[in-house]
Structure 1
């Protein structure tokens, strides 16, 4: 797996070392989450359970669009303009419909066509974050296809998660910095 993604063993070992170095903090977080949920044992699905009751935040799609475009400003005007084009020109199949596949995906494998995003948007903050994440994949595919020949435009999943995670971090930081409550 490392060779196919052109990842050196040094990078792999650094990743494992840093994960191990921060396990105590992660375990502490999980224990706090468990206690906040009032359960004896935490399961994987509990990680997505809300810990604060009584907050009814509704992130309508247009609000999500505005939040994402604002949060991506550090990446430059060209980047934001392409994102805006994606919203305006229906690159995104956002809403749940009967028979639609669950999850969220960005498909940028058609070289001469802009990427498409499929997700099931339900007006939750997690949906805003997921949309920002998928737009990161979309932008990576779009820009790679625009600037590289077909033979070298593709990229491994390890690299793909960098752009998508960056978008999530920018969204979180922008939202956090604008929060007053």
Structure 2
């Protein structure tokens, strides 16, 4: 397993070591000791899974302190564009976003630390996404930023006419209106 740094501090891509043979493949999707060796010190307490069809955009979601969540995101089937937005006001990359294609084929994972909004769009016909979190869901601390926020200008790689967004996500705040800190 290798840890790949991104353009945003603390946001990393996990590249597993895949062992393939005539039977198929094997890899460690998570190894706490290896994560700790690389300074990734979260204690994950829950796994979540979603299934979506092409064009679905989920996000941008987060929970504020003291219920902020770190997420380890991976794709079990299909392809997604995974997006994280840095909301740590003291960060040199505050307000910047990073995106990466995660797929069942490339087996990459994105480690999204506390202080980030997170979302993804589905690029394949369907996708199954699984992610670990280090904090339980807390409705009162739930927040979000609208996916098509003009300040963030995220290219979700989905035609806007084909985008499928939940009623809950379509009414999220704009980036300029957020009033929470990490």
Structure 2-normalised TM-score? 0.26
> Relative contact order (alpha carbons < 8 A, sep ≥ 6): 1 or 2 greater?
2
Larger Rg: 1
Higher helix share: 1
Question: With structure 1 as the length reference, what TM-score do the two structures score?
Answer: 0.26
